[in-house]
């Protein structure tokens, strides 16, 4: 896939392939579907303007995640400043629309949101994105040991949060 001149088709293909996964990841960071979509759009614009950075990346998927992460964190920072200035912090209604009607999925999502964000982020990248600790470290700008520790501690906390769901599953 070339993103140089005439690379609009390639960018469209990249969006089609990666958008659901990237929006899911950005939503974890922003806790807001619209902000997550804005972060993805901003990341795509950055990549379209500088395609050589993606092409020259050691691990293009990790690089793409890092760009989305940076954009999501920028948006979150702006939103927090605006909320602080206005004095009103309300939960976003669209966050609930992200989840399926499936009760188990909602339970897992709620459990992930109870974790410290750095731990939840590592778990999502490791489990859903199937990244190695090395790749996650590259995305987050952290060492593999730090990432592995966050994963381990996050899984311990997640296990405690999800125990009621496991207790509901009939054992044969």
The pLDDT tens digits along the chain (172 residues) read 444 455 567 677 877 888 899 998 898 888 889 999 999 999 988 888 888 888 888 888 888 899 999 999 888 877 765 554 444 334 344 444 443 445 667 777 788 888 888 898 898 888 888 888 998 998 889 999 999 999 999 999 988 888 776 666 555 5
> Do 105 and 117 share a structural domain?
yes
> Do 83 and 13 share a structural domain?
yes
Query: Do 47 and 53 touch, CB atoms closer than 8 A?
Result: yes
Q: What is the per-residue pLDDT for 145?
A: 93
pTM of the entire predicted model: 0.57
Structural domain total, the chain: 2
> Do 74 and 55 share a structural domain?
yes
> Sign of torsion, CA 118 119 122 125?
negative
DSSP 101: S
By the 10 Å C-beta count (0-12 exposed, 13-18 middle, 19+ buried), 102 is classed as exposed
> Do 10 and 80 share a structural domain?
yes
Alpha-carbon distance of 4 to 68, in angstroms, equals 20
Residue that finishes a domain, picked among 77, 98, 119 = 98
> Do 77 and 19 share a structural domain?
yes
Residue that finishes a domain, picked among 74, 98, 122 = 98
> Do 121 and 38 share a structural domain?
no
3-class DSSP state of 103: helix
> The domain spanning residue 133 has which CATH number?
1.10.10.10
By the 10 Å C-beta count (0-12 exposed, 13-18 middle, 19+ buried), 24 is classed as middle
> Do 92 and 14 share a structural domain?
yes
Residue that finishes a domain, picked among 47, 82, 98 = 98
Alpha-carbon distance of 109 to 68, in angstroms, equals 20
Range of the domain at 144: 100-172
In terms of Cα–Cα distance, which of 130, 136, 165, 129 is closest to 150? 136
> Do 85 and 146 share a structural domain?
no
């Amino acid at each position: 896939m070339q993103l140089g001149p005439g690379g609009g088709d390639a960018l469209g293909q990249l969006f089609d392939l990666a958008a659901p996964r990237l929006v899911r990841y950005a939503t974890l960071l922003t806790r807001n579907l619209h902000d997550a979509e804005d972060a993805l759009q901003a990341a795509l614009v950055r990549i379209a303007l500088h395609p050589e950075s993606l092409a020259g990346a050691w691990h293009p998927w990790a690089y793409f995640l890092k760009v989305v992460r940076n954009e999501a964190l920028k948006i979150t920072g702006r939103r927090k400043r605006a909320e602080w200035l206005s004095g009103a912090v309300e939960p976003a209604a669209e966050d609930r629309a992200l989840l399926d009607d499936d009760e188990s999925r909602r339970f897992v999502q709620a459990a992930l949101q109870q974790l410290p964000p750095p731990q939840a982020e590592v778990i999502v990248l490791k489990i859903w994105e199937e990244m190695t600790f090395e790749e996650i470290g590259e995305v987050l700008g952290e060492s593999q040991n730090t990432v592995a520790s966050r994963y381990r501690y996050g899984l311990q906390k997640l296990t405690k949060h999800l125990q009621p769901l496991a207790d509901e599953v009939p054992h044969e």
